[in-house]
Amino acid sequence: MKKLTKLFVLCSILIFMLLMAACDGTQPDASTEKPTAAPTEEATEKPTEAHVCSEYTWTVTVRPTCTQEGERENTCECGKLFKTESIAPLGHTVGDPATCTTAQICTVCVVELEPALGHSPGAVPSCSAAQVCTICEIELTPALPHIPGDEADCTNAQICTVCNTEIAAPLGHTVEGELSCLEALTCSVCGEVLAQRLEHTRGPAATCTTPMICTVCDTVLLEAKGHTPMNTPSCTSSQKCAVCREVIAEPIPHAPGKEATCTEPQTCLYCHTVLADAFGHTAGDEATCDTSQRCTVCRAVLVKAFGHTIETDDAVESTCTEAGLTEGKHCSVCLEVLVAQIVLPPHHRFVNNICEGCGYEVSGSEGLEFTSNKNGTCYVSGIGSCEATDVTIPAAAPNGETVVAIGTEAFKNNTKITGIEMPDTVTSIGDGAFDGCTFLSSLKMSPYITHIGSYAFAGCDALASVTLPENLISIADHAFTAAVLQSL
């Protein structure tokens, strides 16, 4: 069985080889073949008897153009390619001849074969003729416009400066109005005088009040001469003309001078006649110690102030328990206080923090700083080592000097203290003493304080209420700036 299979395979191979040999036998001679008249059509040839295939075909693969070659192939019906050859270019198909503006082109591929010839300009253009092409007679440049000369006026035309052709005729004169005594007859355009004006016809001679005029046109030929005054008018007489004796001006009224006052009458500026009598002073309030009596109209002094009658108010020395007073002065007539008495706080004499007179013992927060006034008194100058938040100012420093003031910026920007209590000995609070103490909410001042400095309690946000001392005389600017006070 295997031998038969092998034999069959060998026979098949042999038959295939014979067929291939037959296909590779006699071939048509492609060099003797010519392309068909229409390269786009297929052509067939009879195969030789040695080739098993019965038909050959020429097929155009690349069509030729005017300038490019084409290509065709020769194959048998079994698809075997025998020959490939070129097809010659077709050549251009010439269109219409070139003209001045149009090139000659191929009617197939539209390639330019000959460029446009271009125009052949004729004579240069002028005012009356355009420039044209001598070949195609097309207008190349239009006729030039006229170049106008001076504009036409009443008597002269406007002409072209090149060809002298008249462009605009003379306008002729324009006459307005009529010939009269007042004006000549002229052209309103060029101003040429066409006829001289007529002479005036004189009327009666001029007088003081009447001019001489033309009886035709009423033109004033000679102004009126005007009056010649013979006198000056006054409050009692009129003014007349020295020529015609006509009254020129009536008697003038009085010319009032300055209005009458308490002491001066009003008179006429011309004749000095009294027009209004002086009306006398109007007395005002009676004179006092410091105020004169004046006229209520002219403010003149009628009775001078007679001055104060000064009486001295004796000073009262303060004790340990009673306040004192400084010396003062007042007027015994009007009782006006001239020098106010200032209340002095009770004055202790401390020895070892105990008053010798009344036994009052000094108490207060410890650690505060004090600065001496070199007169037995001192003032608080800083927080020192004091750690208290509710600070009580002692009436005396550790050295026994009486505390009479809170110094400048003594507690400034201290955000720990919440309360301040001052002794009765304190009489003033310095500038910025408690400025920026934002948590200070309780304040008890001495009843004898007379002055509070600028910015003393500025920025004390927590300070809602302050009771001012009854003896307070002055508060400087901005003492409580930015403090959120609800009552003062």
pLDDT at 21 over 60: no
Q: Which residues, other chains included, contact 25 with Cβ-Cβ below 8 Å and sequence gap of 6+? A: 48, 50, 51
The model's confidence at residue 327, banded by pLDDT at 50, 70 and 90, is confident
Q: Is there a contact between 281 and 294 (Cβ–Cβ < 8 Å)?
A: no
Token representation of residue 357? 């007179």
Is the per-residue pLDDT at 29 higher than 60?
Answer: no
Q: Which one has a higher pLDDT value, 126 or 485?
A: 126
Q: What are phi and psi of 300, to 5 degrees?
A: -70, 145
pLDDT the model gives residue 119: 86
**pLDDT for 100-109, tens place per residue?**
888 889 988 8
d(CA 456, CA 442): 15
What is the distance between the alpha carbons of residues 211 and 222, in angstroms, rounded to a whole number? Answer: 6
**Residue 367 or residue 45, greater confidence:** 367
Report if pTM > 0.75.
no
CA 294 to chain CA mean position, Å: 59
Radius of gyration for the alpha carbons in the chain, expressed in angstroms and rounded: 69
Tell which residue, 365, 433, 371, 430, has the closest CA to residue 399: 371
Measured CA to CA, the distance from residue 442 to residue 416 in angstroms comes to 13
Question: Given the structure tokens 């001076």, which residue do they identify?
Answer: 150
d(CA 439, CA 461): 7
| The pLDDT of residue 10 is above 70 | no
Confidence of residue 39 (pLDDT cuts 50, 70, 90): very low
CA gap 199, 382 in Å, rounded: 115
**Comparing C-alpha atoms, which of 429, 385, 383, 434 is closest to residue 407?**
429
Query: What percent of the chain stands above pLDDT 90?
Result: 20
pLDDT, average across residues 222-239: 85
Give me the mean pLDDT over the 163-180 stretch. Answer: 81
What token pair was written down for 482?
């930015």
Rounded-to-integer distance, Cα 296 and Cα 302, Å: 10
In a 10 Å sphere around its CB, with 0-12 CB exposed, 13-18 middle and 19+ buried, how is residue 6 labelled? exposed
| 186 vs 438: which has the higher pLDDT | 438
Q: Please tell me the distance from the alpha carbon of residue 146 to that of residue 144, in angstroms, as a whole number.
A: 7
Q: How many other C-beta atoms can be found within 10 angstroms of the C-beta atom of residue 445?
A: 18
Backbone angles phi, psi at 51, to 5 degrees: -90, 135
Two tokens, residue 339: 């020098």
**Mean pLDDT in residue range 363-379:** 92
Q: Pick from 329, 328, 334: which is nearest to 290 by CA?
A: 334
- The hierarchical CATH code for the domain 345-488 is 3.80.10.10
Q: Between the CA of residue 268 and those of 235, 274, 378, 425, what are the distances in Å?
A: 9, 7, 78, 76
Residue 151 confidence (pLDDT) above 90 = no
Token output for 477: 């600017």
**What pLDDT is stored for residue 317 in this prediction?**
79
Q: What is the pLDDT of residue 28?
A: 38
**Sign of the alpha-carbon dihedral angle for 28, 29, 32, 35:** positive
Q: Is the pLDDT of residue 226 over 80?
A: yes
The yes-or-no verdict on residue 372 having pLDDT over 80 is: yes
CA distances (Å), origin 334, targets 181, 201, 339, 424, 455: 96, 97, 14, 34, 39
Angle in degrees, CA 68, 71, 72, rounded to 5: 155
